[in-house]
Structure formats: structure tokens, C-alpha cells
Amino acid sequence: MLQLALKAAISGVLIATASTLAKRYPGFGALIASLPLVSVIGMIWLWHDRPDAENMAAHAGATFWYVLPSLPMFLLIPALLRHGAGFWSALLAGCALTIALYSLMVWIGPRLGLPL
């Protein structure tokens, strides 16, 4: 249980740091947020719990393919905001798009031989 709390605390500090920096320096906060910190931290925790090179390789490879469907969200949200949409509506639309694209990836990925 202590290990879970430690993982959550470290992960939370990174998110809080990115959002705090973004208040004053939006570009720098975006840079911090765009770093694959969650993936890297997740891989560290996974390796700590199960140091298996093949499992880690499969995890890292699948992560690449799952990142791709999330990228359009970062184009849709600013476009909607710049055209007068409210923040929550733009965020909801971005999340809906991402869910749809994730669903498509889960459906089409195996058919294309992607290791998901």
C-alpha cells in the first residue's frame, strides 16, 4: 500500500508542477506536459514490479501506437477555443474524439498486425 501511495505522490507532483508552470509560462508548462513522463514513470514502476525485457518491450511498443490517437485532441481543443467554444465543451469534444480514435485503434490495430 505504501508503494502505491508513493507512486501516486510522485506522479501527482509532476502533474502539479506542469500545471503550476503553465500558469506563468504556458509554453514551458506545455513542454513539461508533453514529455512522456507518465509513460516513463509507468515503465519504471512496471520494471520495478516485473523486470521482464520482453514485457517491457511489448508495453513500450504498444504505448507508441496508443499515443497516436491522442494527438488530434491537441489540435481540436485549441481550434474550438479559438472559434468561441467554451473550455468544457472543447475539452469534452477533444476527449470524445480521443475515445473514438482509441476505439478505432483497438479495432483496426490487430488487423494491421500492430502489437497492442
pTM for the structure as a whole: 0.77
pLDDT tens track for 24-74: 998 888 887 787 877 888 899 899 999 999 999 999 999 999 999 999 999
Q: What is the pLDDT of residue 62?
A: 92
pLDDT tens track for 74-83: 999 999 999 9
Helix, strand, coil percentages (3-state) for the chain, rounded to 5, are: 85, 0, 15
Ordered by start, the domain boundaries in the chain are: 1-51, 52-116
CA dihedral 52, 57, 58, 60 (to 10 degrees): 120
End-to-end CA distance of the chain: 29
CA 93 to CA 69: how far, in whole Å?
Answer: 14
